[in-house]
Structures are given as C-alpha cells and as structure tokens.
Amino acid sequence: MQIITTKKQLSSIVAAIQAQNKSVGLVPTMGALHAGHASLVKRSVAENSVTFVSVFVNPTQFNNKEDLEKYPRNLQRDAELLQSIGADFVFAPSADEMYTKDEMNTVFEFDFGGLDQVMEGKYRPGHFNGVVQVVSKLFRLIQPTRAYFGEKDYQQLAIIHRMVHLMQLSVEIIDCPIVREESGLALSSRNERLSPAEKQQAVNISHILFESRQLKACQTVKQVESWVIEQVNRVEGLTVEYYEIVDQKTLQPVQDFSNAIGCITVYCGPVRLIDNIKY
C-alpha cells in the first residue's frame, strides 16, 4: 500500500492505472477509521482491481471551528488498518495541497434542489457545499469506477447521488448500510470523543429508533416524530437537535410511512451524533 500526499503524484498513478484499464474503487473518508469504514473498503477491494482511500479532514465542510479542531486525526493508525484490509493507495493531502486560497475562501456553489434546506443543511449551513466541493474534486482527481458511501450520512448520500446526476459523472455510487456496535450504536469517528458514561447514554438513540418502527402501525408520522424526540430527550445527557421523518429520495416531509426514513441528530454532551432508520 502506498500513501500519496500530492496531486502530482496522484495524477501519475491514476494515469498508469487508467492505461491498464483497471476498475478503480474510491472510499472517501476524513480518517479516524472504524469498522464502518473498513466495511466500505473491504467491499471496494472485492469489487474493483484497485482501491483508493482518501483521508482528508475537509475544512470547507465544517461550519464549527471547534468541531474541525477536535476532529480526531491519526493517519498512522488509519494506514495500518487500511493496509491490513487490502487498500492499494491512501490519498492524504494537506489542505494547502487540496485547495487554492480562493477555493478555501469562497463557498462552492451547487444546485441542491432543496436537499440542503432540511435537517443537516438547516443546522450546518454551508456544510454540504464543502462536501460537494471535496467529493467532486476527489472524483476528478481519481476518476473512480465506483465510490462507496455509508448510509449513516443519509442526506450526504442523497446529495452525492444528485451531484453525480447533475454533473453527468460516470462513477457508480454504492450505498452501504450502517454498521453498528453490538449495542446498536451507529459507528462514527465522533464516538471516540464519548466517555464510557456518554457511550452508555448514546446507545439509547438506536434503541428508541428501532422501537419507533413498532409504532408506525398505529400512529401518524407526526406522532412518531414527537414520541422519538420525547424519549431521547428523557435520557440524561442526550438532547435532540432534530428528528424528521422524510421521503428517502426527496428528503421532504411525508404524510405516511411508505419510502420513509427517520433522521436524527442528538447531542450527547458536547458530541454531535447522527443516526437514521428506514420505516
């Protein structure tokens, strides 16, 4: 496995791979890798001749400076994991290597068709502009045949699908299911910041989501939304930012549970956690 830190080095490697007509899988990440990332990488390794993993804490998608500063980073540990599961290349550029000054300082424009106005987009203004900026750049640099994303960031995935459609890119986006701890807690790099006590509290989020599935037979969408918010807020240490049951494609509010997904964001102490459940 080779670690690449410059675009120049990357472009010569990509050119050589393309000359051999090999299929390329890309797993974009911000590092602090866990078993959820590993499952994406393993799938890419199984489905492509070559697998790239990008490890880049993208500054343009953070609207909170403290969140960016506290985001866990450990390239050496990430590289060891990636090597052990068969990744071929790790692209780990610095912010200066990835972006010009202009790019860093201007908001990347994109027609989100309203997908950025709800949920994460509402609470993290500009976040998805940064995501589209970095992912479109990674796609341009690496030209993957397939790219792998986890369904935990469900809204991100919907936006990536729209981006690929609007930009008419040939990459195939592979949606990968949420990986959970045995306790039910959705795996996240942010879990590293939870104390053991906070982790115990956070486990309740998925339990309440799973339980809410039973209610759909006898309650309305609005009632289930309120029930989830109330139950989570009742757990000491947890505060719901939003829980919305929306259409799986448009992310707009729904009247019934067909093709519905419930997306939640919860503060567990200072740590912002997200999860979702399909009804």
**Contact call for residue 31 and ligand PAF (CB under 6 A):** no
Which element (helix H / strand E) includes 208?
helix 196-215
**Contact call for residue 143 and ligand PAF (CB under 6 A):** no
| Alpha helix stretches (DSSP H) within 24-172 | 35-47, 65-70, 75-84, 95-98, 101-105, 119-123, 127-142, 154-166
**Contact call for residue 131 and ligand PAF (CB under 6 A):** yes
Judged by CB, which is closer to ligand PAF: 153, or 225?
153
Sole binder of ligand PAF in the list 29, 129, 206, 265 (CB under 6 A)? 29
**Contact call for residue 58 and ligand PAF (CB under 6 A):** yes
Tokens 């052990």 belong to 84
Compute the C-alpha angle 153/155/159, nearest 5°: 115
**Contact call for residue 135 and ligand PAF (CB under 6 A):** yes
Sole binder of ligand PAF in the list 10, 30, 87, 202 (CB under 6 A)? 30
Judged by CB, which is closer to ligand PAF: 156, or 191?
156
What is the smallest separation between the CB atom of 223 and ligand PAF, expressed in angstroms?
32
Q: 144: Cβ–Cβ under 8 A, 6 or more apart, which residues?
A: 24, 25, 26, 52, 171
Task: Find out whether 191 and 201 touch, Cβ atoms under 8 Å.
Answer: no
Task: Find out whether 71 and 32 touch, Cβ atoms under 8 Å.
Answer: yes
**Is 127 known to be catalytic?**
no
**Contact call for residue 28 and ligand PAF (CB under 6 A):** yes
Q: How far is CA 232 from the centre of its chain?
A: 22
Judged by CB, which is closer to ligand PAF: 144, or 204?
144
Q: Pick the catalytic residue: 37, 161, 165, 207? A: 37
What residues line the site for ligand PAF (CB under 6 A)? 28-30, 58, 61, 131, 134-135, 153, 156
Catalytic (active-site) positions? 37
